[in-house]
Amino acid sequence: MSYIQIEFKSHRKEYFDNKHNLTIKRGDNVIVQAESGVDLGRVTQTGDQIPSDAAGKELRAVVRLANPDEIERLKTNRADEEKAKEIIRQKINKFALKMKLVDAEYQFDRRRIVFYFTAEKRVDFRALVRDLASEFKTRIELRQIGVRDEAKRMDGYGPCGKRLCCTSHLSEFVPITTDFAKDQGLQLNPSKLTGLCGRLKCCLAYERDFYVNTLSRFPGVGSQVKTAKGPGEIKHLDIIANKVHIKHLNDDEWETLKLEELAHFLGIDLDEIHGGGCGCSSGGNGCNSGKCSTHDKVEAGEIVNPLKDFIEKESFFEDHNFPKPSL
């Protein structure tokens, strides 16, 4: 069984079953089964294994390749959608509804037209639907979407200069919170962290796992430590350079140490903690082998954070009358 991903208007994508084993390649225009009738879209992906986000769903079938006349008819539909948008805007004002029209999309066979809109609250649009049905003589569907879906349909470019992630490659949205920014040491500046949709940028999730995993090896900011220059407090962590910046309490002087050097003062063997000799690197480069004794213990639930586990269970700090760093 082969599966086809089809893209429709405004980057709406769905998976379909190529049950007739048609010879189809990326870029082809095809006719597919719709909820009622048929639709026309462009092939963006083909394969024999169904993606996880479509697994378990009942997929409709690809009917056949579209002919030139049908492709021209699709262009006519797109032009008529712009006219439909003007009509519904007038009727929204007529009924004084607090909703913002985003887009309109005809099903290829024109058995249905979907109007996408945003609204702060639930909207009673039953009278509007009846009026639209008499106007367009087809099935009317009004679909309320969120501001992130609005940005996805409208398309655009982010401050990075690239096309919006939600339009170019994201298949679904994941919840993004300010914790994603905090974990990466970013300033909570709304103008920097929000996207065109007004919500936190989706890209805040891309590197978060790296930062969280790497930070688990470091003592926390504010921890009291003692080095060769005396007692001090950790003020900043540079996880990219694998360094810790310490401000000494006696003379307000600053000292920068590599994580390995700080671990030496604390009596911690990072190589041993991170499965030395089996592929893990104490230089912050991660695990080359992808598997070591520490990973086994983490997966088994024996330890969650190796450095934290050491600090909480070892007697080093009590033996030397030294306060435990906070994590």
What confidence tens digit (pLDDT) does each residue in 24-80 have? Answer: 999 999 999 998 999 999 999 998 877 777 777 889 999 999 999 999 999 999 999
Rounded CA gap, 310 and 312, in Å? Answer: 6
Q: Which domain holds residue 270?
A: 213-319
Q: Are residues 217 and 299 in the same domain?
A: yes
Q: Parallel, antiparallel, or unpaired for β 230-238 and 243-248?
A: antiparallel
- Beta-bridged to residue 32, according to DSSP, are 39, 62
Rounded CA gap, 66 and 85, in Å? Answer: 27
- Domain boundary among the residues 145, 167, 184 is at 145
Rounded CA gap, 279 and 271, in Å? Answer: 10
Q: Are residues 45 and 60 in the same domain?
A: yes
In a domain, 108, yes or no: yes
In a domain, 326, yes or no: no
For the full predicted model, state whether its pTM sits above 0.95: no
Tally of domains within the chain: 4
Q: Are residues 221 and 278 in the same domain?
A: yes
Q: What's the farthest any 2 CA atoms get from each other in the chain?
A: 85
Q: Which long-range contacts (CB under 8 A, 24 or more apart) does 298-305 make?
A: 305/216
Output the pLDDT for position 248: 92
Share of the chain above pLDDT 90, in %: 58
Q: Are residues 28 and 121 in the same domain?
A: no
pLDDT: which is higher, 20 or 283: 20
Output the pLDDT for position 251: 87
Q: Are residues 223 and 239 in the same domain?
A: yes
Q: Are residues 85 and 169 in the same domain?
A: no
Task: Name the H helices within the chain.
Answer: 68-94, 126-136, 147-154, 165-168, 178-183, 190-193, 208-215, 259-266, 270-273, 293-300, 306-313, 316-319
In a domain, 188, yes or no: yes
In a domain, 325, yes or no: no
Whether 116 contacts 92, CB under 8 Å: no
In a domain, 157, yes or no: yes
Q: Are residues 140 and 78 in the same domain?
A: yes
Q: Are residues 297 and 217 in the same domain?
A: yes
Q: Are residues 217 and 268 in the same domain?
A: yes
Burial class (CB in 10 A: 0-12, 13-18, 19+), 314: middle
Q: Which of 3-7, 17-21, 212-216, 264-268 has the lowest mean pLDDT?
A: 264-268
- Domain boundary among the residues 161, 190, 206 is at 206
The enclosing domain of 222 has a CATH number of: 2.30.30.140
Whether 212 contacts 237, CB under 8 Å: no
In a domain, 109, yes or no: yes
Instruction: Render pLDDT for 264-302 as a digit per residue (tens, 0 to 9).
Output: 887 776 655 443 333 343 333 444 334 445 445 545 555
Q: At 300, give phi and psi (nearest 5°).
A: -80, -5
Band of residue 121 on the pLDDT scale cut at 50, 70, 90: very high
Q: Are residues 114 and 95 in the same domain?
A: yes
Structure tokens at 191: 């103008």
Of these ranges, 81-95, 197-211, 232-246, the one predicted with the greatest mean pLDDT is 81-95
Q: Are residues 77 and 53 in the same domain?
A: no
- Domain boundary among the residues 66, 100, 115 is at 66
In a domain, 327, yes or no: no
Q: Are residues 315 and 229 in the same domain?
A: yes
In a domain, 300, yes or no: yes
Output the pLDDT for position 41: 97
